[in-house]
Each structure stands twice: as structure tokens, then as C-alpha cells.
Amino acid sequence: MTDAIAENLAETKNRVLDAERKAGREPGSVELMVVSKTWPIDVVERVVTTGHLLLGENKVQELETKVPAMTPGLRWHLIGHLQKNKVRKVLPLVEAIHTIDSYELAERVSRIAGEIGVRPGIYLQVNIGEDDNKFGLSATDIEESDLVAKVAGLAHIKLLGLMTIPPFGQSPEEARPHFVNLRNLRDRLEKAQGVRLAGLSMGMSGDFPVAIEEGATIIRVGSSIFGKRN
């Protein structure tokens, strides 16, 4: 019997390659993160058996359950909102956090990372669509301050780049301007603050080919692989 999840993953990886080619980018220049939130361990392990190692979770509680119970050596990222009181719990479990939305949170992550001897990657989350229902820094605030340079100077984190989630319910083409705006913001910040921001975490199941065309370096895909959640 064929495994639908393995087939969906292979198809998604082919779509990533097609989008890279369309954009004139090198094959393999975009990382595919499989988002496993709400799916039980036995289902997620079906992705792992294909050799795919990069997984994303929204909640610290799910990471605490899944990481010790699943195949060792997986690469876990946190892609959901991080409360300050959960930093110490999450840092031993993940290699990167995509949702840093204040200097205070970044400083706390760096300080605790130093205490426990890790150095996570982080993305600054930008509310590029100015959506009241989403977390993230405003593009104006991040550009009119020295926050990026300050975060880059923290000793125990690696500033990887910027992350965004467009407003829900938009078509891929409606989402495109948000991806363009994040890329342009990144370019301006690099020039103005002298900080390398190589990573753009943007694009999900419904719009990742467009995100890749506009410069995404890592995409977050769940339902295209697992199907719709119950």
C-alpha cells in the first residue's frame, strides 16, 4: 500500500524545485519545513521515514511531547508565538525560533541560551500586512529603530533573517505583495544597519511557490503534506 503522506511530501518537494527553476534560483536553495502541529507522533514519523529531518511546531507543549519521543537527530523549529515564560523550556528542544517580536524577547532568549550553553537561530517576525490578528513587529517600527543591529549584537543567538505571515484568506497573488514587501524591507535594513539578514521565512501550503519566486529561503508547509486537520 502506498503512503499518501510520503507521496504528498515528494510532490511538495517537486513543486519547490519547479518554483526555484521558475525564479531562476539554484535547486535546493529553499528549505522545506514540514509543519507537524496537532498531528500525532506516529503520523509525523511517516515523514521522518522518508529521510526528511526539518520539522516545525507551533506550541512549546507539543515540542516537549514530541522531541524526546521521536527519532533522534531531527531538526526542530518553533514557528508559533513564544511567551517569555516558555523560553527556558523551548531552547533545549529547537535549533531556531521564527517568532521573535521584540528586543526584550530576543534578549531573554540570548541570556538563557548563554546560561544553558546553546546558540539558537532566530527570525524577527514582521507583521508586514499590518494585521491586527497577528503578532509581529511593524515594518515602520523596525525600520525607524536600531532594533536589528541590537539583536544582531546579542552574544548567544544567530540572527538569521525575517519572517512573516500574510493575512489569512488571501490568494497566492494577493499574498505576493506581502512577500515582496518583506524582501524589500530586508534589503533596506541590511543597507541601513549593516547587518546580514540572509533568511526569509515566508510561504505556507497555499502560497509557497509565490513566496519562493519572491525570495523565500525557508517555507512552512503542513496541510499539503498531512491533509487538513480535524
Interval 61-84: pLDDT, tens:
999 999 999 999 999 999 999 999
Dihedral over Cα of 193, 197, 202, 208: its sign: positive
Give residue-wise pLDDT tens across range 130-177: 887 788 999 999 999 999 999 999 999 999 999 999 988 789 999 999
H and E: helices and strands count for the chain: 10, 8
Distance CA 195, CA 66 (A): 35
Distance CA 80, CA 158 (A): 18
CA distances (Å), origin 16, targets 13, 53, 211, 222: 5, 16, 10, 14
Distance CA 100, CA 43 (A): 29
What percentage of the chain exceeds 70 in pLDDT? 98
What is the CATH T-level fold of the domain 4-226, as seen in this structure? Answer: TIM Barrel (3.20.20)
Mean pLDDT of the chain: 95
Using CB atoms within 10 Å of the CB of residue 1, give its burial: 0 to 12 exposed, 13 to 18 middle, 19+ buried. exposed
Give residue-wise pLDDT tens across range 11-46: 999 999 999 999 999 999 999 999 999 999 999 999
Dihedral over Cα of 100, 106, 110, 113: its sign: negative
Distance CA 40, CA 182 (A): 33
Q: Is the CB of residue 52 less than 8 Å from the CB of residue 34?
A: yes
Using CB atoms within 10 Å of the CB of residue 146, give its burial: 0 to 12 exposed, 13 to 18 middle, 19+ buried. middle
